[in-house]
Structure 1
Amino acid sequence: MADLDISHIVTGPLDVNCYIIGDPKSKKALVIDPGGSPDEILSICKEKGFELESIYLTHAHFDHVLGIRGLRAKTQAKIYLHKADMEIYKILPLQVKFFGFSSRISTKDCEIPDPDVFIKEGENVMINGEPVAKIYHTPDSLLEVFIKYLLMYNRTSVGRTDLWEGSYEQIRNSVRGKLFKMDDNIEVLPGHGPSSSIGYEKTHNYSV
C-alpha cells in the first residue's frame, strides 16, 4: 500500500483530535474519533477524492463520537469499537449531562447507531481490505492504534482516570509495557493536544 494520507482536525466541545486517513491508491479512507464537524470531515474526503468507508473509535467518551450521526447520514461507513466500551457508548446522553453540555448538545445529536464491528486486540485496521495498522487495547477500554504514526490518549499525561472505566494503574502499565518499548522517534498523535514523540514522552511524561 502506498504512503497513507493523514489529515488532522480538532472537533467537538472538548477539542478532540480527529484523524482522516486515506489510501491514495484505492481512494478509500477511515476516520478516527469524529468528535464533531462531520461536514468538514466529508469535505476533506471529497477534496482528496476519498470515499469514507469506516469510523474507528478509540473509546466511547461523548466528545469522541458526536460526529458519527452526521457521517452516517451521508455515508455507509461502518463503525468500529471495542466491545468493552459498549456500556459507555449506550449512555451518551448521560455523559453529555454529566459534563454540563445538555444545553449545547441535543438529545437528537446523541442518537448514534450501534457499532457495526467489535474490534479486538491484535486485529488489523483495514482500508479497502488491506491492513494498515495493528490494534492494541488497554483493559480500561482505551485504544492505541499503530499506523504510520502512533495514536495515544494524551500528550504529557495519561488522560482522565476518574471517569467511566478509568484506571490509572492500567493506563500506566499499558503505556510502559507497550508504548515506551517502541522507537523514540515514532510520532505520537494524541486524542487531545499537540503531537509528540515516544522519546519525548519517556522523558517528560511524569504521569507514568
Structure 2
Amino acid sequence: MNAPTPLPIRALVAPVTPLEQNCTIVWCVKTKKAAIIDPGGEVDRLMGALAEQGLTLEKIWITHGHLDHAGAAQALHERTGAPIEGPHPDDQFWIDDIGASGAKWGMPDARTFTPDRWLHDGDKVTLGETEFEVIHCPGHTPGHVVFFHREARFAQVGDVLFQGSIGRTDFPRGNFQDLIQAITGKLWPLGDDVRFVPGHGPMSTFGQERKTNPFVADDVLADD
C-alpha cells in the first residue's frame, strides 16, 4: 500500500482578542513561508508562534473588516513588512470603523489599514510554493471572503459558517439570504470532506454541517 501524499500546507489556530477570534497561521510546508489569517490582536503572541514553528511571515490575509478579525493587521504589517491581502472592497466601511470599534470594545490598539491588495471572487493568493482560492461570501458582511486550499481540503471561512451556526446578519449591510446562498451555493459544492476553521469556536466539516447545522442542513433547507 502506498503511503498518503503529504499535504503541502499546515495550519495552527490561535484564538485572539477578548472575543476569542480564531486567528489562523497557515504555511507552505516546503518553504516555511506563512500567512496569518485574521490577526485581530496580540501581535507579540503571533510573532512568538511564528518563531516557535520556524516560519517566515509572507502574507497577511483578511476575511472581513470586523475589529476582531482585522484590528492588528496594520501593526503586523508594520512589524514585518508582509503585505495585507483582502478582504473584498465592499468591506471598506468596516475597516474605516476599526479604530472607533476598538475604543468601544476595549481594544485601543486596533487600527484601520489599507490593503495592499483587495480580493475578489475567483482570485488566487500564493503562499510559498502553494496557492489558495478566494471565494467571495457576502451576508455577514458584504465584502467577506473565504480562503480555500483545494488539495488540502481546507478552508478558513471567517464568520460565514460555524459548527452548528452561521454568521450574524444584523450588522449594517448584512443580509441573511445572501449568507445562505453563499454557504449553499459556493461552499457546499467544494465537497463534504472539506475541513474548515470558523471565525470562532471549533473546527468542523462542510459535510457535518450539511447534516446537523440547524440553519443550513440539507433537510432544514428542504423544508423551506
Q: TM-score, normalised on structure 2?
A: 0.83
Counterpart code for 2:91 = D
Residue 2 of structure 1 and its aligned partner are, at CA, apart by 6.1
Question: How many percent identity over aligned positions?
Answer: 30
The one of 182, 186, 193 aligned to 1:178? 186
Give the whole-Å Cα distance in 2 for the aligned partners of 1:55 and 1:117: 10
Check if 1:27 corresponds to 2:32.
yes
Check if 1:51 corresponds to 2:56.
yes
Q: Runs of 5+ in structure 1 lacking a partner?
A: none
SS at match of 2:118: strand
The one of 87, 93, 102 aligned to 2:99? 93
Kindly provide the CA deviation profile for residues 76-103 of structure 1, in whole angstroms up to 9, marking residues without a partner as x: 0111122111111011133345xx41xx
Greater shift in the superposed pair: 188-197 or 175-184:
175-184
Residue-pair matches, total: 201
Work out whether residues 17 and 190 of structure 1, in 8 Å CA contact, stay in contact via their aligned partners in 2: yes
Counterparts in 2 of 1:41 and 1:174: CA distance versus 1, 3 Å: same
Work out whether residues 85 and 141 of structure 1, in 8 Å CA contact, stay in contact via their aligned partners in 2: yes
Which position in structure 2 is the counterpart of 1:141? 143
Which position in structure 2 is the counterpart of 1:188? 196
- Aligned pairs for 1:13-162 (under 5 A) are 13-81=18-86, 82-96=88-102, 100-101=104-105, 104-106=106-108, 109-128=109-128, 130-139=129-138, 140-147=142-149, 148=152, 149-152=154-157, 153=159, 154-162=162-170
Give the whole-Å Cα distance in 2 for the aligned partners of 1:71 and 1:110: 11
Counterpart code for 1:76 = G
Kindly provide the CA deviation profile for residues 30-52 of structure 1, in whole angstroms up to 9, marking residues without a partner as x: 01011112112111211222111
Q: TM-score, normalised on structure 1?
A: 0.89
Give the whole-Å Cα distance in 2 for the aligned partners of 1:197 and 1:2: 17
SS at match of 1:110: coil
Work out whether residues 88 and 164 of structure 1, in 8 Å CA contact, stay in contact via their aligned partners in 2: no
Residue 62 of structure 1 and its aligned partner are, at CA, apart by 0.6
Work out whether residues 2 and 25 of structure 1, in 8 Å CA contact, stay in contact via their aligned partners in 2: no
RMSD over aligned CA atoms reads 1.8
